[in-house]
Structure 1
Amino acid sequence: MFVYIRSVARHKTISDEALLDGLMSAITEHGPAGLTFAGAAAAVTLSPSTLVQRFGSREAMVEAILLRAWDRLDAATSAADATAAPGAAGAVDLLMSLMPAETVEHAMLEGLLLLREDFRNPRLRARGKAWGDCLAVALGQRLNGDVQEGLRLGWQMARVWQGALLWWAFTRHDRPEVAIRTALEDWCQTAVAS
């Protein structure tokens, strides 16, 4: 006697996007190197074996989480670009909208661990470069009407922004949103022709 067993595809109880968003807190808490399937499973109330089935390996899970983080940053950048005013003030506002004051300290402390993975992984590094290219264009079009000059200034402003974030983390002089906005506005006054 033959018994026919119909194969039933398992339905995902949580979408990939929701799962990856939930895993973002786990990777932030444990760091990329410390994130295990067990730790990740506890964060999203799924079994470790379910995560193994979805991702195959811990490294693939970490990469998927960080690619989702880039997706979210791309979306936030597009939204900020669509709403920011023209001119240098709009460029400053665009950057400030990408770093809500309540998350700056946490992003600086925990985000550096995530960036380390982005630097090491070629796919993640390519996403970072692509985001930088888009950001430089969005800033540059507000800083100068000439495309090439705008792009040069856009990259400069992005570098000033990241440098201001880094130095604020060391000095903690003033609230981050004040210190970083001041640094960006000072740079605009000296670098961008009125």
Structure 2
Amino acid sequence: MNRHLLTRRLVAMARPRAVEDGVILRAAARVMGQMGPAGLTLAAVAREVGLVPGTLVQRFGSKRGLLLALADLSAREAEELTARVRQEHTSALDALAALTVEASAGMETPESFAHHLAFLCTDLTDPELYERALAVHQARGRAVHALLAEAAAAGELRAGTDLAALARTVQAITAGAGLTWALDRRGTLAERLREELDAVLSPHVAHTHSHSRTDSEES
């Protein structure tokens, strides 16, 4: 290899990245919600983050490489989100409500929900993307079960509650709530998720517990 070319490559490798991969991947998630599968291109993501498409090719290789990296980031952030909401709420059930709502970030409109749903349908038919989608689903399932177990230990839930069954129901109901909301468009997605979660938990909640609400939630 030409010595000067090698020197330039080594300098480029040593130079700090002006835009971190995580910033690019979160921009890709925004483009997903805005444009759907057909509109998600390296050029569209590059415009969103203020780079040239060639930079994304260097980082991720292709659109598929970008999608795989985004899926890996989603799996990691599913664990991080659980830890954060648990720190922010004294009550495990309040943390569960926050987790349910924040996990749907980026799907505030029926159109953005539909676009993300279209990507999920693609994930289900692609072995590598399916593996990562399953990892996210399982991470959230563990988080829901852990928060319910904490709630039971703290007396927020009735004694004898079948936590495993309740955790499965919570995941199923919250997944279906998004689709129902996108169809009937009543209220916001966050409101619908909390409404359906409350309905599922209500028969199991001890009388001494009541969900705390911030001023913005009550208004």
TM-score calculated relative to the size of structure 1: 0.76
Distance 1:109 1:44 in 2: 23
CA spacing shift, 1:86–1:13, aligned 2, 3 Å? closer
CA spacing shift, 1:138–1:94, aligned 2, 3 Å? farther
| Identical-residue share of aligned pairs (%) | 20
Q: CA deviation at 1:193?
A: 5.8
Please give the residue correspondences for 1:121-136 in structure 2 after superposition, counting only pairs within 5 Å: 121-136=129-144
Secondary structure in 1 matching 2:170: helix
CA spacing shift, 1:108–1:139, aligned 2, 3 Å? farther
The higher-RCO structure (CA 8 Å, 6+ apart) is: 2
TM-score calculated relative to the size of structure 2: 0.69
> What do you get for the CA RMSD once the two structures are aligned?
3.2
Give a deviation string over 1:63-83, Cα, whole Å, max 9, x none: 212332343343223211333
Task: Tell me the equivalent position of 2:193.
Answer: 180
Task: Tell me the equivalent position of 2:211.
Answer: none
Structure 2: state its 5+ residue gaps. 154-158, 207-219
Q: Which stretch shows the higher mean deviation, 103-112 or 45-54?
A: 103-112
Q: Do 2:107 and 2:113's aligned partners in 1 also have CA atoms closer than 8 Å? A: no
Give a deviation string over 1:17-48, Cα, whole Å, max 9, x none: 12222232233333234422222222222222
Q: Do 2:108 and 2:188's aligned partners in 1 also have CA atoms closer than 8 Å? A: no
Q: Which stretch shows the higher mean deviation, 163-172 or 54-63?
A: 163-172
Write the letter of the residue equivalent to 1:152: A
The alignment covers a number of residue pairs equal to 191
Q: CA deviation at 1:107?
A: 4.7
